[in-house]
Structure 1
Amino acid sequence: MDQTTLNYIVVGLSFALYFGIAIWARAGSTGEFYAAGRGVHPVLNGMATGADWMSAASFISMAGLIAFTGYDNSTFLMGWTGGYVLLAMLLAPYLRKFGKYTVPEFIGDRFYSTAARVVAVICLIVISVTYVIGQMTGVGVTFARFLEVDVTTGLLIGSAVVFVYAVLGGMKGITYTQVAQYCVLITAYTIPAIFISIALTGNAIPPLGLFGDHTESGLPLLTKLDQVVTDLGFASYTGHHSNTFNMFLFTMSLMIGTAGLPHVIIRFFTVPKVADARWSAGWALVFIALLYLTAPAVGAMARLNIMDTIQTGEVGSPEGNLLYAERPQWIKNWEETGLLSFEDKNGDGRIQFYNDKNADFASKAEEFGWAGNELTVNRDILVLANPEIAQLPGWVIALVAAGGLAAALSTAAGLLLAISSAISHDLVKSVFNPEISEKGELMTARIAMTGAILLATYLGLNPPGFAAQTVALAFGLAAASIFPALMMGIFSKRINSKGAIAGMLVGLVLTVGYVFTYLGMFFIPGTNILPNTPDNWLFGISPASFGTVGAVFNFLAAYVVSMQTEEPPQEIQDLVESVRVPRGAGGATGH
């Protein structure tokens, strides 16, 4: 059986599973559509949260970014994992205690203001739309390679799959589909990693293999990798080369952005009790850790495999580089997608893959007869190409294809539900038509979901960057707008509606303005005001790191405005106290 047929069979079976679950778990009420009837077991919810969380950015892009940058991109691991701890400890139980369906609903009720609710909806839509672009990018990359269709067709297929199980099942269908998707994606991620770890280090546990010895050379794996990349002018893999201040801000932005992501927070509204929300967060951390402990090993080993594939002999020797005519099949496969390309700049028929931006290495490259780097590799292909690079069996390659799609589709569905719920429940039901029937609200939610899917598909056709980079911007927006409002809403009785609205607007406007200044309107190149280079960044702060600064200004604006205006009503202060100290709540608190 050829590889394409095998890919279609495995991916088709996974899609059939998702459709079957959607039909079985069809939502029949708004409670099931928004919160799965609040009947999801904590372990299953933890697994679904893991799938909701581990998006295309985690599955497809993160290891690629780590592979091509090394230690400096470990910020993705630290920020995203740390953010889940914040979410579990500071937000999830209290928001579940409040007992609402959506994040804007909590903000609207806590700050006793329809305006605050509408501002929260705006923030949610901006965050979720930015985030979903990265997921659609992942869908396009995966389909383009493994199902041998163009990116547009791939996006349309992926959108159709999401449409069936998300519009039909709502949160109930999405939850149980995500449980299945987690099983698919974690299996697809770890099996190739185990094979490759055994091949390179003899250790079947990838995180241990990362710190083990390279079988062929006898050197520690990371030492061998450092040696290979520095010989070709690249920065050392294990060294720190970036702005430490910016690195700190970026990590913080990912952390507090994680804790402020609406599509993740609503997962904790699906469990029966507050205690279950804590357990769900704990289980989610366990399930996420399985992938996040493996990702650094995947990145390092894949980078070494790629370098060894291209650099077949001594650096600078006439026969040291791979002949293009003898390139392996995996390079040919990915060339067809346009995500990997070769340009023979010196006409020798061999592939030179090196850092031609390194001024210190330029003289050596000139001596070797090299005229510039000739291989361009899109970082989003690395995890998907990894099994082919390592020459693993065809069924492993097919499994990775299904896993990449599962990761992208699971998160896309959660984001689209957050958008749909905000429109139908927080705008139509609460602002424009409070008398709408439950049946009418459910229909509105499904129509809103359909519109969100169409928008996400359109935006996915023109993504601004690698999946993880696009997603990082969404985290910055969540950090600057939603997270401070939730924290102050739970832990401060003094912050009033005027302060919350001012804080969210200040944080959102500052962050969006900063991002647009350097990345352009809707991230379109050529529309940026200033070049997106470290020399132009304010105090060396990158657009992806600015969410932390936006959060600080959000807190400050909310505090200053609240101190200059009236205190919240007493019943609101009592509400905050009851949410934070759940005395006498019986079954609602898990006591």
Structure 2
Amino acid sequence: MDSQDILNFTFIGASFALYIGIAIWARAGSTKEFYIAGGGVPPIANGMATAADWMSAASFISLAGIISFIGRDGAAYLMGWTGGYVMLAMLLAPYLRKFGKFTVPDFVGDRYYSNFARVIAVLCTIIISFTYVAGQMRGVGIVFSRFLGVGIDQGVVIGMAIVFVYAVLGGMKGITYTQVAQYCVLIMAFTVPAVFLSFQVTGHILPQTGLGATLESGQSILATIDQLSTELGFREYTAGGKSTLDMFFLTAALMCGTAGLPHVIVRFFTVPRVKDARSSAGWALMFIAILYTSVPGVAAFGKYNLITTVNGDDGRGVAYATMPGWFKNWENSGLIGWADHNGDGRVQYAAGAAFQGKPEFDGENRNTDGSRVTLNPSDGQFDASKQPFANELYVDRDIMVLANPEIANLPGWVIALVAAGAVAAALSTAAGLLLVISTAVSHDLMKKCVNPQITDKQELMYARLAAIVAIFVAGYFGINPPGFVAIVVALAFGLAASSFFPAIILGIFSRRMNREGAVAGMVVGIGSTLAYIIYFKFMGGTRDELFMGISPEGFGTVGMLLNFATAFVVAAVTPPPPAEIQEIVHDIRIPRGAGVAQAH
């Protein structure tokens, strides 16, 4: 074990000890503490916890990696996720807090005066949360596979064990204060190397200003990356590959999905008052902005460092024997792979897929079955007449943020800090999602629908049992994910947009929306989106078959529009809600006693 391994174990181990210690200290003793932390969390602390809950492995690990590889198209993730949080904070959170129901199924069941609507909402919650948590568990596995020297599958199991302790034991009370600590860890872990990278590449301390800096060559960093990319056969970094329509639909799905995420919404019930819900939303937005405004710079600097390090100053590639230690460390994890197609012993990175699927290495540039790693013949990007060599390098997108400090040769403690931050980001969101699943089962299903007579103690037992089952299911999806972390999470946002967003918006702002309309809308919205995702992600659907060229990640917007249309049509031909429900809707938006000012 070398000094870097010792640092990694120290930083990650210390963070685990902190999280578990907080969970034991803040152990939930009642359902109120388990579900909403007793409703007494201060706004600033809740803002930090919300930021940690929301900034998952997708934000910390995968977002900058996605942008590094797809360039301008990655702006959809930045605009969608940040814009959606603004929408949630301004349009939904205060009203939901005033309504007083601390889960989305609880709101849907009471607002639409129907246990059937509640059950549909529970099913939607479970589907969304399991899709989302799959990305988090994969993120944990990636971190552990590299920094703890275990396989990704074993890393997922370790993550399951850690989450089990403080999610099942502490509930929302334990999770909240754990997430405050996790926010502090993850934001330091992201911004410290971002500052180092910006200064190293551009001479600017802040990555936000470094992105627009001019290099010694006289070109801006973005123009330099554009040039390097085109020379290697990639499209320009600042040019888009998605259609404008798909970009719009993906951004909208991420935005509206953010506003409908059950595990984020529940955070606004952990504060004492409606005023505190608004305040904590503002704090959370500020805490989130620190990371999100740094992401474009980190993505660009990572792309620049990867190309120049791997291909060398002359662009002909660097001899594999002289590649730095970081390359071989990540190669051992199977997340970077090299196959020497032309036999020159040099690593050459260009457009095209280097391998048939994701490679598994045994240290000899061979697949685990002993066959030589080969070029993917079905890939159409490589053109031998335009390229001096075929692509010989596989790079998993999810490693870019984690590998950046090593590629840039930053101090060992920075590398260890990034590892601890990545684990914090993934585990904080995973815990929040698992709590939402357990709450949906114990409170919304068992207590509200199956057996209203169960005691507080029995309800807490069901919540913990549901969390245990959810952890095992989440672990399975973490080991067998349907894509990169950010892609998997984007699918969850699309499901949330197509199911919950219309039901919540209409529940707050439409007195005429009834249970029949809401239920029909949710079923059509999530059903169509889920079918589209399953077909294209698991049943071999091709790009030529996409509806209007819209990707599965962006189809949530189509599902949302179908939800709205179905809800309005069905509500128009069915009886209106009872008068008392209409009065509740009126009171949510307009406080009692607020009349029109009299003229004098």
* Fold similarity call, TM over 0.5: yes
Counterpart of 1:337 in structure 2 is 333
Counterpart of 2:555 in structure 1 is 546
Q: Distance in 1 between matches of 2:412 and 2:93?
A: 42
Q: Deviations over 1:90-118 (max 9, x none)?
A: 11000000112211001000000000000
Counterpart of 1:523 in structure 2 is none
* Residue 360 of structure 2 corresponds to residue 364 of structure 1: no
Q: Distance in 2 between matches of 1:542 and 1:86?
A: 23
Give the letter for the 1:485 counterpart. A
Q: Distance in 1 between matches of 2:571 and 2:482?
A: 38
Counterpart pick for 1:327 among 319, 323, 329: 323
Give the letter for the 1:184 counterpart. V
Q: Deviations over 1:352-401 (max 9, x none)?
A: 10113676853132xx3x2x210000000000000000001111111000
Q: Distance in 2 between matches of 1:464 and 1:499?
A: 32
What are the residue-to-residue correspondences of 1:65-464 with 2, within 5 Å?
65-214=66-215, 216-315=216-315, 320-356=316-352, 362-365=384-387, 368=388, 370=389, 372-464=390-482
Q: CA RMSD in A?
A: 1.2
Q: Deviations over 1:112-131 (max 9, x none)?
A: 00000000000000000000
- Paired residue secondary structure (1:240): coil
Q: Distance in 2 between matches of 1:103 and 1:581?
A: 21
Counterpart of 1:476 in structure 2 is 494
> Do 1:27 and 1:172's aligned partners in 2 also have CA atoms closer than 8 Å?
yes
Q: Deviations over 1:556-579 (max 9, x none)?
A: 111111110101000000011111
Give the letter for the 1:363 counterpart. S
Number of residue pairs matched?
A: 567
Q: Deviations over 1:218-255 (max 9, x none)?
A: 32111111111111111111123320001000000000
- Paired residue secondary structure (2:518): helix
> Do 1:234 and 1:358's aligned partners in 2 also have CA atoms closer than 8 Å?
no
- Paired residue secondary structure (1:331): helix
> Do 1:233 and 1:358's aligned partners in 2 also have CA atoms closer than 8 Å?
no
Instruction: Using structure 2 for the length normalisation, give the TM-score.
Output: 0.93
- Paired residue secondary structure (1:341): strand
- Paired residue secondary structure (1:364): coil
Give the letter for the 1:342 counterpart. W
Counterpart of 1:22 in structure 2 is 23
Q: Distance in 2 between matches of 1:360 and 1:127?
A: 37
Give the letter for the 1:364 counterpart. K
Q: Distance in 2 between matches of 1:399 and 1:411?
A: 19
> Do 2:351 and 2:381's aligned partners in 1 also have CA atoms closer than 8 Å?
no
Counterpart of 2:356 in structure 1 is none
- Paired residue secondary structure (1:251): helix
Q: Give the 3 Å change call, closer, same or farther, for CA 360–399 of structure 1 in structure 2.
A: closer
Give the letter for the 1:151 counterpart. I
- Paired residue secondary structure (1:362): coil
Q: Give the 3 Å change call, closer, same or farther, for CA 258–2 of structure 1 in structure 2.
A: same
Q: Deviations over 1:317-339 (max 9, x none)?
A: xxx31011111111100000001
Q: Deviations over 1:386-417 (max 9, x none)?
A: 00000011111110000000000000000000
Give the letter for the 2:577 counterpart. P
Q: Deviations over 1:301-346 (max 9, x none)?
A: 000000000121334xxxx310111111111000000011001111
Q: Distance in 2 between matches of 1:515 and 1:68?
A: 22
Gaps of 5+ in 2: 353-378, 595-600
Q: Distance in 2 between matches of 1:583 and 1:230?
A: 62
Counterpart of 2:571 in structure 1 is 562
* Residue 582 of structure 2 corresponds to residue 582 of structure 1: no
Q: Distance in 2 between matches of 1:360 and 1:11?
A: 41
Give the letter for the 1:36 counterpart. A
- Paired residue secondary structure (1:376): strand
Q: Distance in 2 between matches of 1:32 and 1:207?
A: 40
- Paired residue secondary structure (1:272): coil
Q: Deviations over 1:495-535 (max 9, x none)?
A: 10111110000001111111112112xxxxxx33x32x2x2
Q: Distance in 1 between matches of 2:291 and 2:427?
A: 17
The alpha carbon displacement at 1:20 in A equals 1.1
Counterpart of 2:368 in structure 1 is none
Gaps of 5+ in 1: 521-526, 586-591
Q: Deviations over 1:163-197 (max 9, x none)?
A: 11111110010000000000000000011111111
Q: Distance in 1 between matches of 2:441 and 2:431?
A: 15
* Residue 84 of structure 2 corresponds to residue 45 of structure 1: no
Counterpart of 1:524 in structure 2 is none
Give the letter for the 2:214 counterpart. D
Greater mean alpha carbon deviation, residues 90-99 or residues 240-249? 240-249
Q: Distance in 1 between matches of 2:174 and 2:241?
A: 45
Counterpart of 1:467 in structure 2 is 485
Counterpart of 1:503 in structure 2 is 521
- Paired residue secondary structure (1:355): coil
The alpha carbon displacement at 1:148 in A equals 0.6
Q: Distance in 1 between matches of 2:134 and 2:534?
A: 16
Q: Distance in 2 between matches of 1:584 and 1:266?
A: 28
Q: Distance in 2 between matches of 1:185 and 1:230?
A: 34
